[in-house]
Amino acid sequence: MKIIDLRSDTVTVPSEEMRAAMARAKVGDDVYGEDSTVNELEQVAADLLGKEATLFVASGTMANQIALLVHTERGNEVIVDAESHIYYYEVGAAAMLGGVQLKPLEGLLSSEGPEVLRKAFRPPDIHFPITRLVCLENTFNRGGGTVISPAISKAIYDLAKERELTVHLDGARIFNAALALGCDVRDFTRFCDSVMFSLSKGLGAPVGSLLAGSQQFIKKARRYRKALGGGWRQAGVLAAAGLVALKNIPHLAEDHTNARYLAEGLAEIPGLQVDLSKVETNIVVAKVVGRWTAAEFAKELARQGVKCNAWGPDTVRFVTHKDVSREDIETVLSIVKKILSL
């Protein structure tokens, strides 16, 4: 049985072209700054994002946590969305590593975001923590892969700057956001002080994220990466995969088309509800109504060769990526139909 894995875009495997590039990569010791392939990737990524410098790190979580460490001191408050990756999925690392307090806001990553942020500001007071940082996320994973528009990003950024706050953008899927709106990725990155994106999701690399910001920010970030055990040596074999991954950016559009096709198909099946207005990129969240719980439904799908994530008690998440085709999506739809007609 062929398995169609829609749990995440992290399940993509390196292409032959990527493996070949990894095999012939020029390498050196990156802790000495001597890996030319890493240096090339960091330069290319900085130009793409319109930032002074970038740092190649092991994961998106590492990139976000390094950003928090650079931007804050112990006891500071960091404003995040209540459904953000940094709050929801990073093992409590902000408290564990940085000793900062996260302030989760509902609706920060929505069209109401600027208003939500404005209301959260507190005047200086001996009782209150010092707020230092606001984190955005684009696309917004738990929002269903939704895009935070440049206008909203700018409004939040401007508000933060009025308060002398720093803004970090968790842009794990920032290229999906840019493609969805047909704009340049810099239309988002200009409204943040630091940004990270993942090479290991829809772009198809086996490992890696890039953290970007000013020269001074990256200099500090490099020290924290080392402190976290993330200093690596001949990492050019991984950077070579990253350089090939960047060529996949335009192909993310196919993932979006497949997600839309899947969402429209699922929305027609009795037993499922899909908010099509929220399907903007490569993520589809479906509500399971009727006698199945999300977990039971996901389990039955898996038994029939389709993997997805039970996302909440009554929701499942499907993520399209380069290793699933239109034909695979058709198979998924017919399997879902069969299960829900049981």
Ligand X SMILES: *Cc1c(COP(=O)(O)O)cnc(C)c1O
Residues that bind ligand X (CB under 6 A): 59-61, 64, 85, 137, 141, 170, 172, 198, 200, 209
Nearer to ligand X, 58 or 288 (CB): 58
CB nearer ligand X, residue 172 or residue 195? 172
Residue type, 246: L
For ligand X, the closer CB: 147 or 336 = 147
Question: Nearest approach, Cβ of 271 to ligand X (angstroms)?
Answer: 28
- Nearer Cβ to ligand X (109/159): 109
Q: How far is the CB of 209 from ligand X (least distance, A)?
A: 6
The terminus-to-terminus CA distance of the chain in angstroms comes to 21
Of 197 and 292, CB closest to ligand X: 197
User: Is residue 291 classed exposed, middle or buried when 0-12, 13-18 and 19+ CB atoms within 10 A define those classes?
Assistant: exposed
CA angle 211, 214, 220 (to 5 degrees): 70
Shortest Å distance, C-beta 174 to ligand X: 9
Residue closer to ligand X, measured from CB, 107 or 129: 107
Rounded least distance, CB 141 to ligand X, Å: 4
Strand residue runs (E) in 174-303: 194-198, 209-213, 272-274, 283-288
CB nearer to ligand X: give 170 or 193. Answer: 170
Query: Among residues 27 and 207, whose Cβ is nearest to ligand X?
Result: 207
Nearest distance from residue 94's CB to ligand X, in Å?
A: 13
Q: Which is nearer to ligand X, 135 or 340 (CB)?
A: 135
Chain position whose Cβ is nearest to ligand X: 60
Residues 199 and 210: their CA atoms lie apart, in Å, by 8
Using alpha carbons only, what angle is made at residue 147 by residues 302 and 319, rounded to the nearest 5 degrees?
Answer: 10
Burial of 174 (0-12, 13-18, 19+ CB in 10 A): buried
Joined together, the tokens standing for residue 25 give 């990569």
Q: Which residues contact 207 (CB under 8 A, 6 or more apart)?
A: 58, 59, 199, 200, 238, 241
Burial grade of 224 (CB within 10 A; 0-12, 13-18, 19 or more): buried
Q: Least separation, in Å, of the C-beta of 198 and ligand X?
A: 5
Q: Considering the complex, what minimum distance in angstroms separates the CB of residue 151 from ligand X?
A: 21
We find the least distance from the C-beta atom of residue 139 to ligand X, in angstroms, to be 7
Q: Shortest Cβ distance from residue 316 to ligand X (Å)? A: 17
**Residue spans of beta strands (DSSP E) within the chain:** 4-5, 53-57, 77-81, 101-105, 131-137, 166-170, 194-198, 209-213, 272-274, 283-288, 306-307, 309-312, 315-319
What is the H or E stretch that residue 328 is in?
helix 326-340
Separation of alpha carbons 140 and 339, rounded Å:
30
Task: Check if the beta carbon of residue 186 is closer than 8 Å to that of residue 203.
Answer: no
Q: Give the integer Cα–Cα distance in Å for 105 and 338.
A: 40
